[in-house]
Amino acid sequence: MTDSDNQIQEGSTRINKYISSSGFCSRRQADEYIRQGQVTIDGVVAEMGSQVLPGQSVLVCGKPVVPEENRIIIAFHKPLGITCTTDPRDPDNIIDFIGYPSRIFPIGRLDKNSSGLILLTNDGDIVNRLLRAEGRHDKEYVVTVDRPIDPEFKKNMEKGVPILDTVTLPCQLNITGKSTFHIILNQGLNRQIRRMCEYFGYRVRKLKRIRILNITLGALPVGEYRKLNAKETKDLIAILDKGKKHPQ
């Protein structure tokens, strides 16, 4: 990178400031990552003093970082039939369905045959922290099964169910009707709720996610999205910061 590449251009931000303003780490820590060659700007290894222009992609240790003022987090009410993939070869992919004007990606997944809340963002650090297993982040679902619920069902589900060569973590379950219940999980095994119910002889007819941590689906219409408000974002980041770790 030449000296002219490092010259300040209108609207640009010094790389260490860019990284620290994302909340990924302090400016001093950012300098160390830069010295180690662990920071890239549009695929080019950054140097001390490098400038970042709007729209450029910055990775630290292979993870994308986004300054707070550029961060996008949206809540989307996923309809049935939409897949939580960014693959454009899938005609039902969530990105094309939403048509958001900036590049975003889903945080986690929600089965094609399930509906409800999913978050999408342009901030890779938030994705990593939300998906980190040790975070044990609460997710709440409303479930309808194919037959009346047995009195033992609640106790058996809550204590853990043997599926996928493991035993699910304890969860909270409240029966809300003859064949409906709310369940709060803090792990995300593949088709977990469906598999848990099948273990006890129930088949899930409807499954809707209504909450992820402090973010609720509320009255958001099916197929619509909204940006998180300032309080939701602040509270979400505060929750994630409690268990925040960075690569060394």
Instruction: Quote the CA–CA distance of 39 and 246 in Å, as a whole number.
Output: 14
CA separation, residue 6 to residues 2, 12, 57, 220 (Å) = 7, 10, 16, 45
The identity of residue 118, as a single letter, is I
User: 133-161 b/e with 16+ CB inside 10 Å = b?
Assistant: eebebebbbbbebeeebeeebbeebeeeb
92 is an active site residue: no
- Catalytic residue (choose from 42, 92, 111, 123): 111
Cα–Cα dist 16/27, whole Å? 5
Q: Which sequence positions are flagged as catalytic?
A: 111
